[in-house]
Structure 1
Amino acid sequence: MTRKRSLVRRGAAVAAAGAAALVLAACGGDGDSPAGHGDHNAPASSSAPAPASASASAPASQGQHNAADVAFAKGMIPHHRQAVEMAGLAPDRARSAEVKKLAADIKKAQDPEIRTLSGWLTSWGEEVPAEGAMDHSAHGTGGMMTAGEMTELEDASGKAFDTAFLEMMIRHHEGAVQMAKTEQADGAYGPATKMAGEIITSQSAEIEQMTRLLGEN
């Protein structure tokens, strides 16, 4: 009986030792686990600030503008409006199909730019030039037509209209190109200097086209 109790006690002791070993092993595994998670999280937390910083700086750089950008937008809006007004006379007055197409292309290009320029001024807290009075006050500057020249164009038709339209629009485009070059040199707002470059490219090409048409007219 004594021998039997001794065996039972010994078996219980072995079982307890085994259980203790298992507990220690499990504890060791738990200890490794947080370290592993810590290592896993470290790269994510260290890389997170970079994109946040980049995204925060992007709007700031896009939003920068200066007085030259404001002057460009305020000057180009009435300038474009007059070009669109001149182009609108062509369908009923021009004789040349090429002049009619050119006028349509000018209207198609400049109408959206007027909306874009107006949107910039609004976002900057600046006043958008009013229709009418502002346009007339700018006549004779930047290649813009005077009231008398606009009346002359409205009263012309056929070949006389084609000639007057081409001569006036060449001068008008030259004024726009000069305004755009000033924006490229002095402006700070990326989208505005980009538009200026597009105006220089497209209107310089149209000046060449109109000069050719004028020679053929």
Structure 2
Amino acid sequence: MKRTLTSVALALVAALTLAGCGSDTESTASGDNGGAQFNDADVTFAQQMIPHHEQAVEMATMAQERAASPEVKELADTIEAAQGPEIETLTGWLEDWGQEVSSEDSMGGMDHSGGMSGMMTDEDMEGLGAATGAEFDQMFLEMMIEHHTGAIEMAQTEQEDGENPDAVALAEKIEADQTAEIAQMEDLLGS
């Protein structure tokens, strides 16, 4: 049922995104782009959330092979199912706004953890990739809690400073979804 609700929410975000997009792709000084208002905060949110989500998806993919707990694997599926489509939505917005699209790949494989809250270092990712079983589960949960906390901070900044209603709505969804997932991960760590 949670996946169904997530799917419905993602479809709604996608529909709202498409409704806000016009054929005019020339940005003006006011940030008007095809009827879609956006500002620097919206652009920063999208540009930073893409590589942030990409790293979470990478971690979730590792869980499928390395996790011992079925609950951790199920959580990883949920994370991947939510954040993959959000990456596509964020990428589409940046393209529509005529802004640069950033990703982990476009960052040259450099350790980019210092710039964004909650990002794991290359060393963290290597350690997670080398772990298996119960050790992986604990590392995954602890790292993903930190990762989600960073995403929530980014989402809260977007809600405070962003102008684009679709981007603000996605930020609200990210905050709600990831807050719930943190509670789930804390329960798993405590069991």
TM-score for both structures, normalised by structure 1: 0.70
8 Å CA contact retained: 1:180, 1:200: yes
Stretches of structure 1 lacking an aligned partner (at least 5 in a row): 1-57
Aligned to 1:39: none
- Checking the alignment, whether the CA contact within 8 Å between 2:50 and 2:103 is kept in structure 1 is no
In 1, the alpha carbon distance for the partners of 2:140 and 2:95 equals 33
Deviations 1:176-215 (A, max 9, x none): 0000000000000010000000000000000000001011
**Counterparts of 2:119 and 2:104 in 1: how far apart (Å)?**
15
Could you tell me how far 1:118 is from its partner in structure 2?
0.4
* Residue from 139, 147, 153 that aligns with 2:113: 139
Residue of 85, 95, 117 corresponding to 1:112: 85
Structure 2 residues without counterparts, runs of 5 or longer: 1-20, 23-31
**Partner residue, 1:215:** 190
Q: Please tell me whether the aligned partners of residues 143 and 175 of structure 1 are also in contact (alpha carbons under 8 angstroms).
A: yes
What's the counterpart of residue 39 of structure 2? 66
Structure 2 letter corresponding to 1:83 = A
State whether structure 2 residue 150 is matched by structure 1 residue 175: yes
The structure with higher relative contact order (CA 8 Å, sep 6+) is 2
- Change in Cα spacing, 1:214 to 1:97, as seen in structure 2 (3 Å) is same
Identical pairs, percent: 53
Bigger Cα displacement from structure 2, 204-213 vs 123-132: 123-132
For the aligned residues, what is the CA RMSD? 1.7
Tell me, yes or no, if the aligned pair for 2:55 and 2:104 is still in contact at 8 Å.
no
Residues 73-127 of structure 1: per-residue CA shift (max 9 Å, x gap): 0000000000000000011110000000000000000000000000000011111
- Paired residues in the alignment total 159
Give the TM-score taking structure 2 as reference length: 0.79
Cα distance per residue 1:1-52 (max 9 Å; x no partner): xxxxxxxxxxxxxxxxxxxxxxxxxxxxxxxxxxxxxxxxxxxxxxxxxxxx
Q: Could you give the per-residue CA deviations for residues 146-166 of structure 1, whole angstroms, max 9, x where no partner exists? A: 000000000000000000000
Q: Which residue is 1:92 aligned to?
A: 65
Cα pair 2:111 2:122 within 8 Å, conserved: no
Q: Which runs of 4+ in 1 moved over 4 A?
A: 58-62
Greater Rg by CA: 1
Give 1 or 2: higher helix fraction: 1
**Cross-structure match for 2:134:** 159
Residues 54 and 103, structure 2, Cα contact 8 Å, conserved in 1: no
Using the TM superposition, give the Cα deviation of residue 142 of structure 1 relative to its aligned residue in structure 2, in angstroms: 1.0
Q: Answer whether contact 1:62 1:189 (CA < 8 A) is retained.
A: no
